[in-house]
Amino acid sequence: EVQLLESGGGLVHPGGSLRLSCAASGFTFSNFVMSWVRQAPGKGLEWVSNINGNAGSTYYADSVKGRFTVSRDNSKNTLFLQMNSLRAEDTAVYYCAKCLGTRCNVFDYWGQGTLVTVSS
Amino acid sequence: DIQMTQSPSSLSASVGDRVTITCRASQSVTSYLNWYQQKPGKAPKLLIYAASTLHSGVSSRFSGSGSGTDFTLTISSLQPEDIATYYCQQSYSSLTWTFGQGTKVEI
């Protein structure tokens, strides 16, 4: 059974940093592209970032480019999202998601999410 | 970026009704169109991918159709457990995955 468990969310001041983690199990982690998708309170879904299986390629939404960094530790089956220079508009539930296909054609499994609140 | 527009934004139907949600892309996404269900307070779940392929374990009440710019998600007989918000998502545009704004289904 595929399981994804995010952690690391919390309250942070504007301009601050936070590191999210996503522990994966139930599949061969290193074989799959992984993603972060976020959802602001009461709003829709927004793709944030992707990383391929060997961490050789990373991609970011324009809204977070230059501030967020995605990484992974395949030896620990864990995905990370380092978030710097946080803004109020980054407040959201952050989900990690497993991708199907080398281009991440679909997000087939999602974690339960972790809430990030950026406020003074 | 490819924009995804869903209609309606919300709907109310009765148990047993046939429910249809549409999703329109601002340009062709061929069949790179997925549908997700999100129940209140829960993470999204994949329902249908590649426009019409049912994800493993998903009820056959759900079906998808369409290609190019116009897509449809159909619930053949609405059940109480189908109360949720439904999102379409395109994966045609390289490096920019976009979602529709969501359709809230109520009974």
What is chain A's pLDDT, residue by residue, as a tens digit (120 residues)?
Answer: 999 999 999 999 999 999 999 999 999 999 999 999 999 999 999 999 999 998 889 999 999 999 999 999 999 999 999 999 999 999 999 999 999 988 888 999 999 999 999 999
pLDDT at A77: 97
Peptide bond into B8 cis (omega under 30): yes
Interface test with A, best of B97, B98, B99 (most A CBs within 10 A): B97
| Interchain pair B91, A105: CB under 8 A | yes
Q: What is the pLDDT of residues B51-89, one digit of tens each?
A: 999 999 999 999 999 999 999 999 999 999 999 999 999
Q: How far apart are CA B11 and CA B19, in angstroms?
A: 9
What would the DSSP string read from start to end of A104-115? T-EEEEE---EE
- Say yes or no for a CB contact (<8 Å) between A107 and B101: no
Q: What is residue B49's predicted lDDT score, i.e. its pLDDT?
A: 96
Cβ of B99 and A46 within 8 Å? yes
The residue whose two tokens read 């407040």 is A91
The closest of B53, B54, B56, B35 to B105, measured between CA atoms, is B35
Considering only CA atoms, which of A91, A110, A111 is closest in space to residue A10?
A91
Cis preceding-peptide flag for B80 (omega within 30 of 0): no
pLDDT value of residue A93: 98
B105 forms beta bridges with: B11, B84
